[in-house]
Structure 1
Amino acid sequence: MKAIVKPAPELKGTINALSSKNYTTRYMLVGALAEGTSTLYYPAHSEDSDAMRRCIRDLGAIVEEDDEKMTITGFGRHPKPVPELNVGNAGAVLRFLMSVAAFCPELTFVNTYPESLGKRPHNDLIDALKQMNVRIDHNGGKLPITIYGGQPKGGKIKVSGNVSSQFLSSLLFMTPLLEEDSEIEVLHDLKSKIIVGQTLEVLEQAGIRIEADDDLMRYRIPGRQRYQAQEYKIQGDYPGSAAILAAAAVTSSDVAVHRLEENSRQGERAVVDVLRAMGVPLTHRDGIVHVRGTGLLKAGEFDGDHFTDAVLAMVAASVFAEGTSRFYNVENLRYKECDRITDFVTELNKAGASVEERQSEIIVHGKPEGVEGGVEIDAHYDHRVIMALTVVGLRSKQGLVIRDAHHVAKSYPHYFEHLLSLGANIELQD
């Protein structure tokens, strides 16, 4: 599908933020690992959450849902032995379930997105699982991956946090179910510590005890624990909402986004402060972010590791800021659905922006007058790239055509629908 994005003179209206993808997938997993029936209110509907639904069902969970809630009757530490799982293009789902697969005798994760997830490395988690008496066949750390488990062992485990925090989160979900106590040491650096905080929050709500050092680099996990069946209410999603807020910031706007909790542990909550630092007129109270955009922004310097999944949306806003903006500590963006530094910077420059890259930085020379546009650009099969490029198209002089725009459904199926409801002029072509 192509998205033909036309310049938007103004955006006005109110929307509800979609439910958090990160929390939905985590609550679904702890529901599957519990013995009993858990209830999730307002679960996200996206390709990632659909992948988790499909896979936990395949592994033996009973999943039922209506318009408001989902119930999950879990399989505990005894997933049904199945020969293979298809996670689609959902990297977090793959990584979380690789550890769960250690309880299965033999399970292959197939490669259905060779140009996206199929290119992403998982060596750090593979190395950690091998320390736990799990044999693994793999393609240079990439899919397809076959896990020969059945008898995973606890003890002292080392895992690198250099590439992704998802490897650590995967182990934190699985190790409480082992017979032995475990101690996990994170090697090198740990990316996206705030997202690890979300994992720990969900585990605590599910009745799991984990002792973590203050710097989140070492963990002590008692074995022989059981997940408790619980009720969970899923909050609004900051990463997806970041693109809506960025679109409001770069246009003449009066846009309110509801269901964004002020005290959320989502790191991407920082986008409210980033936009404020850029001079965007907004308020945030009672779970509502209200932007009255003027299109006038100023540049700044931001540590992107605090809001990883919203960096691209904030970069898109900074394309139109007065001055030079710098987003640093973002190397982990290179290991997502695409290389979100090189690939994204390439497309921005095609659209007429002036953007440079470093190994772990994106540097934007703002153009308050706008960018030319008038070109067709490549989304690289990446939902975050699609959303961010749309923001640029709305403020371009000639608009943009974004290829493969249907991949936005990975996290935000209603993204274009929401923008259209606010007055954007976007045509979708199959």
Structure 2
Amino acid sequence: MDIIVSPTPVLNGEIQALSSKNYTTRYLLVAALAEGTSTIYYPAHSEDSDAMRRCIRDLGAVISEDDEKIVITGFGRSPRDVKELNVGNAGAVLRFLMAVTALCKDVTFVNTYPDSLGKRPHDDLITALGQLGVEVEHQNGRLPIRIKGGEPKGGKIKVSGAVSSQYLSALLFLTPLLEEDSEIEVLDDLKSKVVVGQTLEVLEQAGIVIHASEDYMHFTVPGRQSYQAKTYTVQGDYPGSAAVLAAAAVTKSDVAIHRLTENSKQGERAIVDVLRMMDVPLTHENDIVRVQGNGKLKAVEFDGDTATDAVLAMVAAAVFAEGTSRFYNVENLRYKECDRITDYLTELRKAGANVEERQSEIIVHGRPEGVEGGVEINAHYDHRVIMALSIVGLRSKQPIRIKDAHHVAKSYPQFFDHMALLGASVEWTEN
């Protein structure tokens, strides 16, 4: 399905933030790794979190769910032996489970998205798993990937953090369950340290002890630990909310989003700070972010490494800012569902934006008068690109058509419902 986004001068209304995808997938996993029954309140429903639900059920977790909560009886350190797992297009789920299924004898992760997740490399994690004695068969680091595990051994492990922090998080989920103590050393630079902080926060809540250096480059993990069955509450999601907040910023608006925790460890919380830096009128009180936009924005410079999943929305806002904006230290955007620098900027240019790319930078020459639009745009099956391009459509002079926009469901199935509720002119159409 495609979506047609037409010029929309005004947005008004209130919505509840979606529940955090990152926290939901982590809570689902630690609940599955616990012996006993855990309860998770307000879990996210998205393709990623649904992929984790499906896979942990296949691995032996018992799950029941109602409108408010999900109850999980875990398999502990003894997942069921399964032949195949299908994570869909969920990269984080794949990487976390590549580590966890080292506890199984022989599991193959199938490749159902050859043009998206199927293109993403996982070599650094494969190398690290080899240091645990796990044999991995793969296609030049890509799916399908076969994990031949059963008896992984702890010890000294080195893992690169240059491409993704998810490899490190995967090891942090697995190593507490091993017989031996482990030391994990991160090589190269570590991307998205804030997300590692979320992993450590969830592990601590699950009763796991990990000693981390201040810079997250060295970890000591005692072995022979057990995950504890607990009750968790998922906080509101900043990455998805970033797109709605940016949309409010580029229009005349009065938009409030509830359930956005002020002291959240989500790096994408920075969307609030960046919009303030762009002179967008907003308040953040009692876990409610309220934007009263006037459509006028100032250019900004921002280190995007700690807020990876909000950068595309920030760039979309900067398209309409006065002056030249620069988002730097964002190379890891290249290794997502698509190349979120080259692919995204190519589509922005089609709509009329004036943007430039460097290897690890996005430069935006703002056009406060708006852009032409009137084009069909390829979002490369990427949920973040779909949301960001829809922001640009609100300030285009002619409607834009976003191909295959239903892939927004990967993280935010209700995105266009919420946008329509706020007054955005969006219309689904057959592709």
- Interval of TM-score (by shorter of Structure 1 and Structure 2): over 0.9
Aligned to 1:372: 372
Aligned to 1:412: 412
Shift of the alpha carbon at 1:161? 0.0
Residue identity in the other structure for 2:411: S
CA displacement, residues 27-64 of structure 1 (integer Å, 9 cap, x when unaligned)? 00000000000000000000000000000000000011
Helix, strand or coil at the partner of 2:203: helix
CA displacement, residues 165-207 of structure 1 (integer Å, 9 cap, x when unaligned)? 0000000000000000000000000000000000000000000
**Residues 1:146 and 2:146 are matched in the alignment:** yes
Helix, strand or coil at the partner of 1:12: strand
Name segments (4+ residues, structure 1) moved above 3 Å: none
Q: State the alpha-carbon separation in 1 of the partners of residues 65 and 30 from structure 2.
A: 17
Aligned to 2:36: 36
Unaligned runs of at least 5 residues, structure 1: none
5 Å-filtered alignment, 1:121-160, equals: 121-160=121-160
CA displacement, residues 150-172 of structure 1 (integer Å, 9 cap, x when unaligned)? 01000000000000000000000
Q: State the alpha-carbon separation in 2 of the partners of residues 9 and 279 from structure 1.
A: 18
CA displacement, residues 379-407 of structure 1 (integer Å, 9 cap, x when unaligned)? 10000000000000011100210001000
CA displacement, residues 112-158 of structure 1 (integer Å, 9 cap, x when unaligned)? 00000000000000000000000010000000000000010000000
**Residues 1:54 and 2:69 are matched in the alignment:** no
Shift of the alpha carbon at 1:92? 0.3
Residue identity in the other structure for 2:205: Q
Aligned to 2:198: 198
Shift of the alpha carbon at 1:93? 0.2
Q: State the alpha-carbon separation in 2 of the partners of residues 425 and 83 from structure 1.
A: 46
Aligned to 2:330: 330
Residue identity in the other structure for 1:286: N
5 Å-filtered alignment, 1:182-331, equals: 182-331=182-331
How high is the sequence identity, in percent, across the aligned residues?
Answer: 76
Q: State the alpha-carbon separation in 2 of the partners of residues 306 and 57 from structure 1.
A: 32
Shift of the alpha carbon at 1:67? 0.3
Aligned to 1:63: 63
Residue identity in the other structure for 2:88: G
Q: State the alpha-carbon separation in 2 of the partners of residues 142 and 9 from structure 1.
A: 44
Aligned to 2:72: 72
Helix, strand or coil at the partner of 1:197: helix
TM-score w.r.t. length of structure 1: 1.00
Alpha-carbon RMSD = 0.4
Residue identity in the other structure for 1:257: I
Shift of the alpha carbon at 1:306? 1.5
Q: State the alpha-carbon separation in 2 of the partners of residues 273 and 232 from structure 1.
A: 28
Shift of the alpha carbon at 1:9? 1.5
Unaligned runs of at least 5 residues, structure 2: none
Helix, strand or coil at the partner of 1:138: strand
Aligned to 1:398: 398
Number of matched pairs: 430
Helix, strand or coil at the partner of 2:185: strand
Shift of the alpha carbon at 1:311? 0.3
Aligned to 1:339: 339
Helix, strand or coil at the partner of 2:232: strand
CA displacement, residues 290-322 of structure 1 (integer Å, 9 cap, x when unaligned)? 000000000010000021000000000000000
Q: State the alpha-carbon separation in 2 of the partners of residues 25 and 314 from structure 1.
A: 25
Q: State the alpha-carbon separation in 1 of the partners of residues 379 and 270 from structure 2.
A: 25
5 Å-filtered alignment, 1:3-22, equals: 3-22=3-22
Residue identity in the other structure for 2:69: K
